[in-house]
Amino acid sequence: MSQTILTLTLNPAVDKSTTIDSLKPDKKLRCEKPVYEAGGGGINVSRGLVRLGISSTAFFTSGGPAGNRLQQLLDEEGVKAMPFPVKSETRENFMVVATNGNDQYRFGMPGSELNADEAEGIIKAIDSCNPEIAVISGSLPPGFEPKQMRTIIKNLKSKGAKVIIDTSGEALQESLSEGVYLAKPNLGELAKLVGVDELHNDDADDAAKELINKGMAEMIVVSMGPQGAYLVTKDKTIHIPAPSVKKRTTVGAGDSMVAGIVAMMAKGEGELAMARMGVACGTAATMSTGTGLFKKEDVERLYRWLAKL
């Protein structure tokens, strides 16, 4: 039986994408019909889990017409939504693909600021939940302090939840200071966490074990793009290479990786299966267009290939 999963997205977005022939300044550009999709780290994890046949509840802030659209988009994808109403409008991001070279132009808007009562209300609402797995993913909106992440994580852990964190900067540092079950930094984020300017692939496992030995996480998955990923625990290091595919986008690849890892966790599978499914989902996401994440058939084919290694 799958475990109960809660994903948390405090700075969600409606992602709007379109295509043009080419991007030129000072010209009126004729765009194709826009596509709207739900966005934000935890939301994307829940969207990915639906594709893998795993149920979850997506907690997110929601405000204004864009917030209503976000809820509608999630309903259409079969994601169980737990919106937290806020006064400010949910942000909208914009992406344009120029078809003459398949170049992507991504415009990320800042989230609207939360007030102090809303920030405290979010913490209380999350504390009312009792998940077995909690995924906190994405950026923080203005008005929500990184140190408040520690309170959320502490409350979830007190109920026995396995907390997975996928964020960056001060929010990631504060989360790891509280201690989580699993963290998914990339090489650049991992370097900052261990206090060095940069890390090479061969250094990633040692850096991850340094954080694990400090009690910051039980498991760390280091995403390395075309080089795949390391899954590191106190006692083992697993490297999974990324299959070679035709890349169309990198949007949602990290969130898709987390969805694959969580899907195997929920099924009670071991670290090797978690790492393989994470890389399969992350790679499959690069084969899609826009912010559509991955196709299940691509994931299954890539997972079978990785299982033969």
Positions marked catalytic: 255
Q: Residues 190, 201: contact at Cβ < 8 Å? A: no
The beta-strand segments (E) located in the chain are 5-9, 13-20, 35-39, 57-62, 80-85, 91-98, 103-107, 133-137, 162-166, 180-183, 217-223, 229-233, 237-240
Burial of 234 (0-12, 13-18, 19+ CB in 10 A): exposed
Task: Supply the DSSP string of 223-284, one letter for each residue.
Answer: E-GGG-EEEEESS-EEEEPPPP------TTHHHHHHHHHHHHHHTT--HHHHHHHHHHHHHH
The helix/strand/coil state of 197 is coil
Q: Residues 213, 234: contact at Cβ < 8 Å? A: yes
